[in-house]
Chain A
Amino acid sequence: MGLDSHRVELLLALFGVANAVWSVVLTHITTRKAKADMRQIAETLTASFSQIAAELVRNRKPSSGRRIT
């Protein structure tokens, strides 16, 4: 009986430690990923602007040609 309660305590302690570690790791990973998302947005914004600008310039060339004629 004494051994059983000792085992239960050990199991509970393991659960407690595992849960605390898991909670901290999960929090760390999710918040870090959220910060990385923002950095990624900054990079894609710059690329996206150039892409839209290039697209507009490409579309403009034939139309400006039409305007000249």
Chain B
Amino acid sequence: MSLPDLSLARVFYDRAREVYLETRPSIDVTPDQLLAIASDVSTQLELVRLVRELNDPEFRQLLILFLEDAADKLEEAAGNADDAADLLDRAGLAPAVTVTTGAIALTLATGGAAVPVVVVFLGAGGMIALGFGRTTLKSKSRREKSGAKKLLSLAAKLKGV
């Protein structure tokens, strides 16, 4: 188990402050870095401590609005991933199951003719690919939804400063 990287909160805080004071053009933060800060209590507390020490309500407001905006974006991305998973179900999995079931029936009816057997394998391969894609998308959606909650929770902690 690795220790939380407290410097991540410090780096985010410093960059945010520099952009706010117009000494830096952009914050250059990735969703993963934000989530790393929001996912750990120690880094959350570190950021809250830094903001409390500064005691600048406008800067605090900036961080809150930014975190809420980032949470919105993650929620939206999670929704897109869910839609894509549904598309795989409707446009991919349903036809693949139909073709494979038909091929299995034909294999049984013909006593194991070569073509239906090959089609069964093709259908199974397609279903494996679709299943993999669906799992990837659903797990991405879950990660993003949980990330959005964590960001909102961090925003709520900053509101309480």
Q: Which of B1-9, B43-51, B66-74, B153-161 contacts A (4 or more CB under 8 A)?
A: B66-74
Task: Determine the distance from Cα of A25 to Cα of B3 in the docked complex, in whole angstroms.
Answer: 41
Within 8 Å by CB of A37, from B62, B80, B118, B126, lies B80
Main secondary structure of the interface of B (DSSP, over half): helix
Q: Known: A13-B119, A23-B96. Contact between A49 and B19, CB under 8 A?
A: yes
Residue numbers in B under 8 Å from A52 (CB-CB): 62, 65-66, 69
- Check if B91 sits within 8 Å of A12, measured CB to CB: no
* A side interface size, CB within 8 A: 35
Interface size class of B (residues with CB under 8 A): 35 or more
Residues of chain A at the chain B interface (Cβ within 8 Å): 9-10, 12-13, 15-17, 19-20, 22-24, 26-28, 30-31, 33-34, 37-38, 41-42, 44-50, 52-53, 56-57, 60
- Beyond A31-B136, A45-B73: 11 further Cβ-contacts under 8 Å? A17-B122, A20-B123, A23-B125, A26-B91, A31-B137, A37-B81, A42-B29, A46-B28, A49-B26, A50-B19, A56-B58
